[in-house]
Amino acid sequence: MARILIVDDSPSQVMGISRIVEKLGHVPLTAEDGAAGVEAAKRELPDLILMDVVMPNLNGFQATRSITREATTRHIPVILVTTKDQDTDRVWGMRQGAKAYLAKPFGEDELAELIAKYLSGGPAAA
């Protein structure tokens, strides 16, 4: 059973993703924006982070960069889960240290596959 941090400013998205995480047998942790997500990552050291991009205070790109460059959190895989679906967004997200990029709306199976892949220490997504 893994602990998965969900960072998203939309309560409905957090609820939906939390349900999927629980259904997979994992424990969801939540943060309401990028700044809170960075702090939660440092405090909780989750096994995986699901990060939205468009959020107040600190966006998901900035938060991902902070998490993946911090010595205490750089080992935690970050999957960006966002409505920003341009190729440039994907490239930029991966350059910030994300392991994968999933565009909303997504299928439950797509998210489940990525969670399984990165909890097992899988290579970066294509």
- Closest C-alpha among 85, 99, 87, 33 to residue 63: 33
What would the pLDDT profile of 69-97 be if each residue is shown by its tens digit? 999 999 999 999 999 989 999 999 999 99
* Spatial separation of the C-alpha atoms in residues 29 and 3, rounded to whole Å: 7
Average pLDDT score over residue span 97-111: 96
Pick from 97, 107, 104, 23: nearest CA to 60: 97
Which element (helix H / strand E) includes 100? strand 100-103
Q: Delineate the domains of the chain, giving CATH numbers in brackets.
A: 3-108 (3.40.50.2300)
Buried b (16+ CB within 10 A) or exposed e, 47-83: bbbbbbbebeebbbbbbbbbbbeeeebeebbbbbbbe
This prediction's pTM:
0.94
Mind listing the pLDDT tens digit for each residue in 9-61?
A: 999 999 999 999 999 999 999 999 999 999 999 999 999 999 999 999 899 99
pLDDT value at position 120? 86
Residues 6+ apart with CB under 8 A from 71: none
Cα-Cα-Cα-Cα dihedral sign, residues 38, 93, 69, 126: positive
- The DSSP call for residue 57 is S
- CA–CA separation, 19 and 43 (whole Å): 23
